[in-house]
Structure 1
Amino acid sequence: MALPHDSNETSYLLPPNNEDWDRQAIPDFVYGQKDLMAEGIQWPRNAPGVLEALPQSPFDAALCSAWKQRVELGLFRYRLRELQTQILPGAVGFVAQLNVERGVQRRRPQTIKSVRQAFDPEQFNFNKIQPGEVLFRLHREPDLPGTLLQEDILVVINVSPLEWGHVLLVPEPARGLPQRLLPGALRAGIEAVLLSLHPGFRVGFNSLGGLASVNHLHLHGYYLAHRLPVEQAPSEPLDPGGHLHLLRGLPAPGFLFYTRGPGLDLESLICRVCRATDYLTDHEIAHNLFVTRGAPPGKTSPSSALTGVRVILWARKSCFGIKDGEAFNVALCELAGHLPVKTSQDFSSLTEAAAVALIQDCRLPPSQAEENLREWSRVPVGPANQRKTMLRKRNLRNVLKRKLPSPLTLHSRLS
Structure 2
Amino acid sequence: MVSAKQLEGGYSFVKASSGNEQLKFHIVPTKGTKVVLYQLTASLARGLAACDGLSINEEAKQSLLGALLLAQWEDCSSKGRFDYDVTSCETKVICGGKKFFAQLNEKWNSNSPTPIENQVIQPLGPSTRKNVKIHREDILLCIARGDNESSVLISSALAPQDGTLVVINPNPIEYGHVYLVPYDFCHQVKMLDKRSLEYITQIAVEVADCSFRVFYEYAPLANPVAACFQANFFENALPVELLELAPVYGNVLDKGVHICEVTGYPLKTLVFTSNENLKLLITVVMEICSVLEERNAVFSLLITDCGRKIFLFPQAQSSSAVHLSAWECAGYFIFKKALEFDNTSEDEISKILASVSLDDGAFLALKQLCGSIANKLVF
TM-score, with normalisation over the residues of structure 2?
0.73
Q: Are residue 374 (structure 1) and residue 379 (structure 2) matched?
A: no
2 CA distance for matches of 1:320 and 1:136? 39
- The sequence identity of aligned pairs, in percent, is 21
Greater share of residues in strand = 2
Q: 1:163 aligns with which of 146, 155, 174?
A: 174
Equivalent residue of 2:303, what SS? strand
> Displacement of 1:98 after TM fit?
1.3
Greater share of residues in helix = 1
Equivalent residue of 2:349, what SS? helix
Indicate if the aligned counterparts of 1:134 and 1:154 stay in contact, CA closer than 8 A: yes
> Displacement of 1:287 after TM fit?
0.4
The corresponding residue for 1:94 is 100
Change (3 A) 1:173 1:101: farther
> Displacement of 1:26 after TM fit?
1.4
Count of paired positions: 316
Equivalent residue of 1:67, what SS? helix
1 CA distance for matches of 2:71 and 2:65? 10
1 CA distance for matches of 2:326 and 2:171? 16
The corresponding residue for 2:38 is 29
What one-letter code is carried by the residue in structure 2 that aligns with 1:313?
L
Misfit runs of 4+, over 4 Å: 120-124, 319-323
The corresponding residue for 2:266 is 251
Change (3 A) 1:40 1:239: closer
> Displacement of 1:237 after TM fit?
1.9
What one-letter code is carried by the residue in structure 2 that aligns with 1:288?
S
Gaps of 5+ in 2: 1-30, 116-125, 150-160, 253-257
1 CA distance for matches of 2:244 and 2:164? 33
Indicate if the aligned counterparts of 1:279 and 1:376 stay in contact, CA closer than 8 A: no
Matches within 5 A, 1:94-243: 94-103=100-109, 106-107=112-113, 121=127, 124-126=130-132, 128-142=133-147, 151-173=162-184, 175-177=186-188, 180-209=191-220, 215-239=225-249, 243=258
Q: 1:66 aligns with which of 69, 72, 75?
A: 72
TM-score, with normalisation over the residues of structure 1?
0.67
What one-letter code is carried by the residue in structure 1 that aligns with 2:178?
V
Superposed CA offset, 1:372-414 (max 9, x none): 3323432698xxxxxxxxxxxxxxxxxxxxxxxxxxxxxxxxx
2 CA distance for matches of 1:258 and 1:174? 27
Task: Answer with 222-231 or 239-248: which moved more.
Answer: 239-248
Indicate if the aligned counterparts of 1:209 and 1:318 stay in contact, CA closer than 8 A: no
Task: Answer with 59-68 or 349-358: which moved more.
Answer: 59-68
CA RMSD of aligned residues (A): 3.3
Indicate if the aligned counterparts of 2:315 and 2:357 stay in contact, CA closer than 8 A: yes
Equivalent residue of 2:74, what SS? helix
2 CA distance for matches of 1:75 and 1:236? 44
Work out which structure has the larger RCO, using CA pairs closer than 8 Å and 6 or more positions apart in sequence: 2
> Displacement of 1:134 after TM fit?
1.2
The corresponding residue for 1:390 is none
Q: Are residue 349 (structure 1) and residue 343 (structure 2) matched?
A: yes
2 CA distance for matches of 1:143 and 1:272? 28
Indicate if the aligned counterparts of 2:217 and 2:326 stay in contact, CA closer than 8 A: yes
Gaps of 5+ in 1: 1-21, 46-52, 110-119, 145-149, 295-307, 324-328, 382-415
Tell which structure's C-alpha radius of gyration is larger.
1
Change (3 A) 1:105 1:377: closer
